Amino acid sequence: MSVGEPIPMFDYRPGHEAIEADLLAAIVGVLRSGTLILGPCVREFERAFTAFLNEPGEAVGVGNGTDAIAVALKSLEIGQGDEVIVPPNTAIPTVSAIRSAGATPAFCDIDPTTCLIDLERIESHITQHTKAIVPVHLYGNALPMAPLLAIAARHGLRVVEDCAQSCGTRWQGQQTGTFGDIGCFSFYPTKNLGACGDGGMCFTRDGNLAESMRRIRAYGCGTTYVAQQEGINSRLDELQAAILSVKLPHLPAALDRRRAIAARYDEYIGGASSRVRTSTHTEHSFHLYVILVERREELIASLKAEGIGFGVHYPVPIHRMPAYQFLGFAEGDFPKSEWAAKRVLSLPCYPGLSDAAIERVAAAIRRHAS
């Protein structure tokens, strides 16, 4: 079989080429401004991102998505001795952020059809030490938030949404990141809204929390030289804010393209593979298009042979990683997460992906299933 041009798992270049002049102008503007950190570009992007979310509140730019969760938890005074409920099939940064805040992750297994935390299991993990829940809107899917908020209200828990993969996703018409106490976003280059480097954002409706997070991101000082609370160094810089401000108006079209790609995969692959199910009342953003496959290593070998990129998000649940063995969990403790980890496979899904490339990828999947 002849192999065509390589199809990468992700490529930001086609999207940047279309707006290159605007990106370069924004970068030059920052370089000529005399301000590189926490200046007008950051403030303008915070305002624009709040407008994009279309809910009353305030956005606080931070250095990256991991810090967004850590800053959020710190602003809620969650730390040493506190437990935070989280699924074990998330990216490492979700848990490293909890640990950075000083808290302990309390894992809760998932619904294997959506790969999202199992709402029916959460209450069994709540203890006297539980202070928060971090729902992860994985792959661009959305956890149904009304039942989660009801659980949190019954037990007096805070909710910090991990929206690293769900920027632009809606549940019942409302953007993820606007339901809980704080929503946390990542602008890593591969994300739905990607910077040219690292960047992150916290969103809250609570003005006091917003002010606390502004202090925490700058050593606990905010705009003074006197620390009012313990903080860290995590600031969204002017260059990335300027770049993100250029890209933000193009995000709706990029999300439409992601959804169109997913629809084509659904059509072309059909019953040949099982896509991770979209949760009810969700307008999925398809940060990732993820299928559940048997004989995954065989399919991976075929994709490699045909020059087709792929991803495995994620091959090892966090409770099985060496760094987190101190938490005391063992194989079999979260069987649904372990089951999914052996089967998930992400296909190329980004706005610059051509229709011809989609057909090639789908054909490879169909051959594997036949």
Secondary structure (3-state) at 368: helix
Q: Tokens standing for 177?
A: 């990141």
Q: Are strands 83-86 and 104-107 parallel, antiparallel or unpaired?
A: parallel
pLDDT at 62 over 60: yes
pLDDT recorded at residue 257: 98
pTM across the whole model:
0.97
How far is residue 142's CA from residue 119's CA, in Å, rounded to a whole number? Answer: 12
Each residue's pLDDT tens digit, 128-180: 999 999 999 999 999 999 999 999 999 999 999 999 999 999 999 999 999 99
pLDDT recorded at residue 272: 60
Q: Which domains does the chain have, with CATH numbers?
A: 14-249 (3.40.640.10), 250-369 (3.90.1150.10)
State the average pLDDT over residues 101-125.
98
pLDDT at 67 over 50: yes
Q: Tokens standing for 159?
A: 């909710």
CB contact burial 205-227 (16+ within 10 A = b; e otherwise): beeebbbbbbbbbbbbbbeeeee
Angle at 286 between CA 283 and CA 292, to 5 degrees: 110
Alpha carbon distances (Å) from 226 to 38, 122, 217, 220, 323: 17, 40, 14, 8, 36
> Average pLDDT, whole number, for the chain?
96
pLDDT at 368 over 90: no
State the average pLDDT over residues 82-106.
98
Residues in the chain: 370
Each residue's pLDDT tens digit, 264-316: 999 999 766 689 999 999 999 999 999 999 999 999 999 999 999 999 999 99
- The three state secondary structure string of 256-321 is HHHHHHHHHHHHHHHHHCEECCCCCCEECCCCCEEEECCCHHHHHHHHHHCCECCECCCCCCHHHC
* Confidence label for 1 from pLDDT (cuts 50, 70 and 90): very low
How far is residue 16's CA from residue 55's CA, in Å, rounded to a whole number? Answer: 28
